[in-house]
Amino acid sequence: MSPTIFEDKAPNVAAAIIILVAISAVVFPLRIYTRIKHKAFGWDDFTMCCAAVPFGALSVFCLGAAFLGVGVHKWNLDEEKSERAMMWFFFFEIFFCIAIIPIKLSISLMLMRVAGPKKNYTYALWGMASLFILANTISFLYILFRCTPISFAWNTKTPGGSCLPSRDLADVYYADTAVNILTDWFCALIPLPLLYTLQLNLNAKLSVGFLLSLGILASLSACIRLKYTVNLNNSDDYLYSVADVMIWGYAENGVGFIVGCVSTLRPLFREMFSLGGGNHSGGGGSETDLEELDLEQQEEEWENPL
């Protein structure tokens, strides 16, 4: 009896993709609307618009993989279906690297806007951005050209084909994941010293804390993905086991995309739900809310630089 669609772990893959795509489809247009309305559209917004293209492609390949064999036990797949599933997973790996670069870069650029004249933070953010751009670019190139011809990555019957050792690919995965985890935590925690000298009311504290916790969630997704990546070395049912890698790899991109968009929406939420704004410090009256700092940074510098 042939396997039906959404068998084994395939429903988990499909559910993760659909949920994150649905949320992204709401918060991304709201981000664009909010930025344009407040005349605050910047390079971070442009970069997130660029990220939406490979992120959309990643979503298509992940959802297609759930329909076409990833997450299904090997005894339920014939050779042709296994090759097709491997091809879809290959494109997941490619677009994972392509999508995560502009997503992380957009978040970094947003934090640079918040940092404003504080050059030490800006330099640190550029250094961190350079690190994850380099790591994910190397991973992209290695995955793409590891096999000759490229199609040998999923079709091992290709005449004259060969691949670099799987152990080397695992090392690339580990290094890339380590860099992504490090930079996720950096982006999640760097606002803390920026906000330390500012007086926040309860609403602002809750909103900033919520955004920080979401940033850490992206890092946790990477940690869980690393765990399943390590376990792949001991699996004799690759396409079934790799479903967890796909779920958490997609979550890493999806959560980053969502967090990057939600972090710009406080002005919209305040208008809709009459949320309280930040208190004003004496003198110039600079905003104390994280998002308001982002918007106001175009017009004035912070009154109390660190």
Identity of the highest mean pLDDT range in 25-34, 193-202, 208-217: 25-34
pLDDT tens-place string over residues 111-134 = 888 777 778 888 999 999 999 999
Instruction: Tell me the C-alpha distance between 277 and 296, whole Å.
Output: 13
pLDDT tens-place string over residues 33-80 = 999 988 889 999 999 999 999 999 999 999 999 888 888 888 888 888
SS3 147: strand
Residue 296: pLDDT band by 50, 70, 90 thresholds?
very low
SS3 148: strand
pLDDT value at position 95?
Answer: 96
Residue owning tokens 């350079």: 130
Find how far residue 185's CA is from the centre of its chain: 13
Domains along the chain?
10-296 (1.20.1070)
pTM score, two decimals?
A: 0.83
* Residue 211 pLDDT > 70: no
pLDDT value at position 267?
Answer: 79
Higher pLDDT, residue 225 or 278: 225
Contact 44, 114 (CB under 8 A): no
Q: Supply angle C-alpha 213, 216, 220, rounded to 5.
A: 130
